[in-house]
Amino acid sequence: MPDSTPHLELFDIRKNFGLVAALNGVRCSIAHRDVVALFGRNGAGKTTLLKILALLMRPTDGHFQLEGVDARRDAADTRRHIGFISHATYLYSDLTALENLKFFGALYDVPHLEERIAQSLRDVQLWDRRHERVRGFSRGMQQRLSLARTFLHDPSLLLLDEPYTGLDPIASGMLDRLIERFHREGRTVVLTTHNLDLRLPVVNHAVVLEKGLVACDERRSRFASKDFEELFKEHVKERAE
Amino acid sequence: MLKKIARILWKDILTEFRTREMFSAMFVFALLMVVVFNFAFENAPRDSILQAAPGLLWVAFTFAGILGLNRSNAIERENMSMQALMLAPIDRGAVYLGKMLANFLFMWISELLIIPIFAVLYNYSFTAHFWPFLLILVLGTLGFSAVGTIFSGIAVNTKMRDVMLPILFLPVVVPVVIGAVETSIRVLAGEPLRGMTDWLKILVVFDVIFITVSFLVFEYVLEE
């Protein structure tokens, strides 16, 4: 696949919930290796957009392409390339850490599953607790296991919905390192946040969503956290007026 | 796909084995109904009991089954793990079949444990009709689970999910319950299966149609 093909391309995506329009025609192009910070105030449509990209929700209109191919043409195969993290852990509380990863690994047909699981559990420092039920884990441990679950199938596109919400400092640092590793490996990351104090040096693409539309779409080699604040204030304020 | 279905089924079996929440809720509720109605029928003529008891048994199975479906939903709601299944690169019909088979299995096992207690309390003998009755039990429970699993998928996205499930589900599952009651009355009265082919056909057709349609539309049911 030539590098000129965007990794992810959104064509006029709309989503209505009854009479309420959450997305009003989102257009955006995301290149390979982009680490996209998707900003917007509450109700701007960030989570809706991410759910559509994760194929958890159907758009009312519009479509998107992954690697130049309509994502819904072979939805099951598209999902193989996507990792999704939200504030929910997506774990089964009455299974052990190991059983959870075995279950999800089998659903994703992860090759060399045993070794992958061992590596993932060591990465999130839960190897010694692998035979314990998730119900007995602290919130931070559950979040770390959730990270291991997301990265287990080696996705090429990582979607993160408010990923830092509720994370303890250890899990937060772990997530930073995983995103940086992801970027180094040439993969693509899209994360939503309303935290303008985002201190993630690998972010190279900022998108501001306002009232279901892309208000700003800017690429830079590097963003400082004050840049996010400026972009947000400039574009959200303009529209509010 | 069969491996994925088996994985989902195994996950539900393992969870249930550890918590026993679904099975115990269904078993205790059905047992309570069978015992309470036994007192109500204490002085009733034997013929009336023979006519009413299979209906009572299926009412107990139906409401116990709804309790089980609600519990099955709760497992997938906790930590939003149903979304994790939706994110997996598998046909969402496989998710339906895995969940449906798990619901069927737990309900069927609790029914099998209730039957001997029912036989003792109502002085029924199942030995002469065991296999035909087992067939009806399988067909009725399969139809119940087929409809229940798809409707619990619909109800899980609503705010009043525990109330919505029986409201949406019971009117649709009525043909299965009626079919199961009609055939049970006749089997337990000693009639051969060939005398009730119309009802058996209804049960089989209902099961096949609902399993097929639900398999195909489960994807749309799950997506918001």
Q: How large is the C-alpha radius of gyration of chain B?
A: 18
Compute the distance between CA of residue A78 and CA of residue A67 in angstroms, rounded to an integer: 10
Mutate to test the interface with A, among B13, B14, B19, B81 (most CBs of A within 10 A): B81
Helices within A111-211 (DSSP H only)? 113-123, 139-151, 169-184
Written as six digits, the tokens of A232 are 């947000």
pLDDT in single tens digits along all 224 residues of chain B: 889 999 999 999 999 999 888 889 999 999 999 999 888 888 888 788 878 888 899 999 999 999 888 888 888 888 788 889 999 999 889 999 999 999 999 999 999 999 999 988 888 877 878 888 899 999 999 999 999 999 888 877 777 777 788 888 889 999 999 999 999 888 888 888 887 888 899 999 999 999 999 999 988 888 76
Q: Which residues of A touch B18 (CB under 8 A)?
A: 94, 133
Q: Which residues of B touch A99 (CB under 8 A)?
A: 14
Tell me the CA distances in angstroms from A112 to A106, A123, B137, one per residue in order. Answer: 10, 17, 42
Pick from A56, A78, A86: which is nearest to B86 by CB? A56
More confident: B125 or A152: A152
Compute the distance between CA of residue B125 and CA of residue B188 in angstroms, rounded to an integer: 8
Return the closest-CA partner of residue B193 out of B111, B118, B129.
B129
Q: Which residues of A touch B78 (CB under 8 A)?
A: 92-93
What is the per-residue pLDDT across A171-210, written as a single tens digit (0 to 9) for each?
A: 788 888 888 888 888 889 999 887 766 667 778 888 888 8
Looking at residue A238, its pLDDT comes to 54
Looking at residue A1, its pLDDT comes to 45
- DSSP code for A34: -
What CATH homologous superfamily does A33-53+74-240 map to? P-loop containing nucleotide triphosphate hydrolases (3.40.50.300)
Written as six digits, the tokens of B147 are 């409809």
Residue A231 has pLDDT above 80, yes or no: no
Compute the distance between CA of residue B202 and CA of residue B158 in angstroms, rounded to an integer: 31
Confidence band of A237 (pLDDT split at 50, 70, 90) = low
Compute the distance between CA of residue A82 and CA of residue B156 in angstroms, rounded to an integer: 24
Residue A3 has pLDDT above 80, yes or no: no
Q: Which residues of A touch B86 (CB under 8 A)?
A: 55-56
Written as six digits, the tokens of A153 are 């199938």
Looking at residue A2, its pLDDT comes to 46
Looking at residue A166, its pLDDT comes to 73
The domain limits of chain A are: 33-53+74-240
Does B4 contact chain A (CB < 8 Å)? yes
**Residue partners of B88: CB distance under 8 A and separation at least 6:** A79, A104, A107, A108
Compute the distance between CA of residue B189 and CA of residue B183 in angstroms, rounded to an integer: 10
Element (H, E) at A88: none
Interchain proximity B84–A79, CB inside 8 Å: no
Instruction: Count chain A–chain B contacts defined by CB atoms under 8 A.
Output: 76
Minimal C-alpha gap between A181 and chain B (Å) = 23
